[in-house]
Copies of this chain bind each other. A is one copy, B any other.
Amino acid sequence: MPYYIGDVIRDENKLVARTPERFRDSGIEVLIRTPVERIDMKESAVQLAGGSTIDYDILAIGTGTIPILPGIPGQDLEGVFTLKRLNDAIRIKSYIDMKPVRSAAIIGAGFISMEMCENLRLRGIETTIINMGNLPVTRWDPIFSKRAQEELDRNGVITLTGTKTESITRGNDGRLHLATTAGELAVDLLIIAIGVRPDARLAAEAGIPLGKTGAIQVDFSQKTPLENIYAVGDCCEVFNRVSMRWVHIPLGDIANKQGRVAGRNIGGAPILFPGIVAAQSFRLFDLEMAATGIDEREANQAGFHPVSTIVWGNAIAGAMPGNSPVGIKLIADRSTGKLLGAQAIGEAGAVSRVNTLSCALWAGLGLEEVAYLDLAYAPPFSPSWDPIHLAAQDLLKKL
């Protein structure tokens, strides 16, 4: 009998083990709230927390990631959260609903931080981002990150830059007191969002090889180097079609695809996972931010000779009402003209353009082709020369 050892899923306000119900008539037994202690490869069994074991013919590991903690005093206090699972979001929401939360701080300025501060502000909570660096979302070019910072400022988010949090204590006022290099800050809620690392502990202890990234090593079938053990999702590596390297990019859509690929291979309808181009997006208040492929740093690491440009164009035809500027950054290889990466920002039309460019990266197109791509032009949707074309033509001049 196949087993699924899963998470509790909470539905609205009461805890519901929804997953078991979904599988009730499927012949799959679902164990929830059941930590696995150890994978015993000799016996082909997993050892559960209570001491009992389950034998397996084929094992699939989907242990996800662990939020990185700063390792400072007070990081485990009540009111201090990380955000990884659905349950984390539910816990944060419950805390806000039950306590008087008037102010919050977020340590970190990546895209999880950005998404959280939008939602905190929507609830009217005074929100401070504590950023060790100078700009948020450093995957993007500093010019675009600055625009993100302006969007934070415009929406009343307070940002402390170049600031490190050194300790958290509970004050006599019941609030969390953060000692930072920029002084003390008292808040009702703290979210730590400084990144995640693959949770490959069970796999590593069992001797399943990890990649250089620390995530579980898999092949294009999602199989680990061990014949009957698969891994999927945020705990394992994925092949980047642009850098041609195995990387660790924990994103939900990639995990979904890997799960499907592993399932088909285990179930006997083989399929290969063709890899990713690292497409990503998030919304920050009225701003779309999207990126795909690799940036100059990664391109250099992969042996390319990157050259890039940033071009600002119209999201839709200039004469149409509702037009807004969209910024496109393209990165290409100087010696071959091959497209290596793209970033976009704007109130509209940024994500859709990065999707088109993700397909161009997927197919390995060169700038000459991107500059003349046939897109579905109509004035309400784009200028006749799309910003994609303008950016590619501009970058061609720099090759």
- A121, CB-defined interface residue at 8 Å: no
Chain A: interface size category = 35 or more
Q: Say whether A359 faces chain B, with CB atoms less than 8 Å apart.
A: yes
A280 interfacial by beta-carbon distance below 8 Å? yes
Instruction: Judge whether A252 is part of the interface by a CB distance below 8 angstroms.
Output: yes
Given A352-B352, A355-B355, does the pair A283, B381 have CB atoms closer than 8 Å?
yes
Residues of chain B contacted by A283 (CB below 8 angstroms): 378, 380-381
The answer to whether residues A354 and B376 also contact, given A256-B385, A385-B256 and a CB cut-off of 8 A, is yes
Chain B hits for A357, CB < 8 A: 359
Interface-central residue, A291, A356, A384, by most chain B CB under 10 Å: A356
> By the criterion CB–CB under 8 Å, are A378 and B281 in contact?
yes
A363 contact from B279, B363, B380, Cβ within 8 A:
B363
Contact of A360 among B271, B280, B363, B382 (CB under 8 A): B363
Contacts of A358 in B (CB 8 A): 356, 373-376
B residues in contact with A373, CB < 8 Å:
358-359, 362
Q: Which residues of B contact A281 (CB under 8 A)?
A: 376-378, 381
List chain B residues, Cβ under 8 A from A131.
Answer: none
Query: Interface centre among A282, A373, A380, A385, by most B CB within 10 Å?
Result: A373
Does A257 contact B372, Cβ atoms closer than 8 Å?
Answer: yes
In the complex the two chains form, what is the Cα distance from A15 to B224 in whole Å?
Answer: 72
Residue of B nearest to A357 (CB): B359
A251 interface residue per 8 A CB criterion: yes
A35 to B61, CA, bound (A): 74
Is A205 at the interface (CB under 8 A from chain B)?
no
Q: Which residues of B contact A384 (CB under 8 A)?
A: 252-253, 256
CB distance from A246 to the nearest CB of B (A): 15
How long is the Cα–Cα vector from A358 to B364 in the complex, in angstroms?
15
Give every chain B residue within 8 A of A275 (Cβ-Cβ).
Answer: 374
Q: Which residues of B contact A378 (CB under 8 A)?
A: 280-283, 351
A256-B384, A385-B253, A385-B256 in contact; A369/B377 too (CB < 8 A)? Answer: no
A379's closest neighbor in chain B, by CB? B283
A202 within 8 A of B: no
Given the known interface contacts A256-B384, A362-B369, the answer about A278 and B374 at a Cβ–Cβ threshold of 8 Å is yes
Question: In the assembled complex, how far is the CB of residue A311 from the closest CB belonging to chain B, in whole angstroms?
Answer: 16
Contact across chains for B253 and A377 when beta carbons are under 8 A apart: yes
Roughly how many angstroms separate A254 CA and B8 CA in the complex, as a whole number? Answer: 54
Contact residues of A with B, CB < 8 Å? 241, 251-254, 256-257, 261, 271, 273-283, 288, 290-292, 351-352, 354-360, 362-365, 368-369, 372-378, 380-382, 384-385
A-B residue pairs, 7 tightest by C-beta: A363-B363, A352-B352, A281-B376, A253-B377, A359-B359, A279-B376, A276-B374
| 16 contacts across the A-B interface (CB closer than 8 A) | A273-B372, A275-B374, A279-B377, A281-B377, A283-B378, A283-B380, A291-B376, A292-B374, A355-B376, A356-B358, A356-B359, A358-B374, A358-B375, A362-B365, A362-B373, A363-B364
